[in-house]
Amino acid sequence: MTTYGSFPGTRPRRLRTSPVMRRMVAETRLHPADFILPAFVREGVSEPVPISSMPGVVQHTRDSLKKAAAEAVAAGISGIMLFGVPEESKKDGVGTAGTDPDGILQVALRDVRAEVGDDLLVMSDLCLDEFTDHGHCGVLDDQGRVDNDATLERYAEMAQVQADAGAHVVGPSGMMDGQIGVIRDALDQIGRDDVAILAYTAKYASAFYGPFREAVGSSLQGDRRTYQQDPANLRESMRELELDLEEGADMVMVKPAGPYLDVLAKVADAVDVPVVAYQISGEYAMIEAAAERGWIDRDKAILESLTGIRRAGARSILTYWATEVAQTLR
Average per-residue pLDDT in the chain? 95
Question: What does the alpha-carbon distance between residue 276 and residue 199 come to, in Å, rounded to a whole number?
Answer: 9
| Catalytic residue positions, numbered | 203, 255
Give residue-wise pLDDT tens across range 103-124: 999 999 999 999 999 999 999 9
Evaluate if residue 266 carries a pLDDT over 90. yes
Determine the pLDDT at residue 302: 98
Contact 103, 61 (CB under 8 A): no
Helices 62-75 & 322-329, crossing angle to 10 degrees? 30
Determine the pLDDT at residue 219: 74
Closest by CA position to 325, among listed 15, 56, 45? 56
Evaluate if residue 135 carries a pLDDT over 90. no
Determine the pLDDT at residue 283: 97
Give residue-wise pLDDT tens across range 50-93: 999 999 999 999 999 999 999 999 999 999 999 999 999 999 99
Evaluate if residue 5 carries a pLDDT over 70. no
Rounded to a whole number, what is the distance in angstroms from the first to the last CA of the chain?
54
Determine the pLDDT at residue 3: 64
Determine the pLDDT at residue 128: 94
Determine the pLDDT at residue 289: 97
Question: What does the alpha-carbon distance between residue 41 and residue 305 come to, in Å, rounded to a whole number?
Answer: 26
What's the average model confidence in pLDDT over 273-299?
98
Give residue-wise pLDDT tens across range 247-257: 999 999 999 99
Evaluate if residue 148 carries a pLDDT over 80. yes
The DSSP 8-state label assigned to residue 98 in this structure reads G
Q: For strand 49-50 and strand 58-60, is the pairing parallel, antiparallel, or unpaired?
A: antiparallel
The SS3 of residue 160 is: helix
Instruction: Give 287's Cβ-side CA count (13 Å radius).
Output: 20
Give residue-wise pLDDT tens across range 188-244: 999 999 999 999 999 999 999 988 888 887 877 778 888 899 999 999 999 999 999
pLDDT tier at 151 (50, 70, 90 boundaries)? Answer: very high
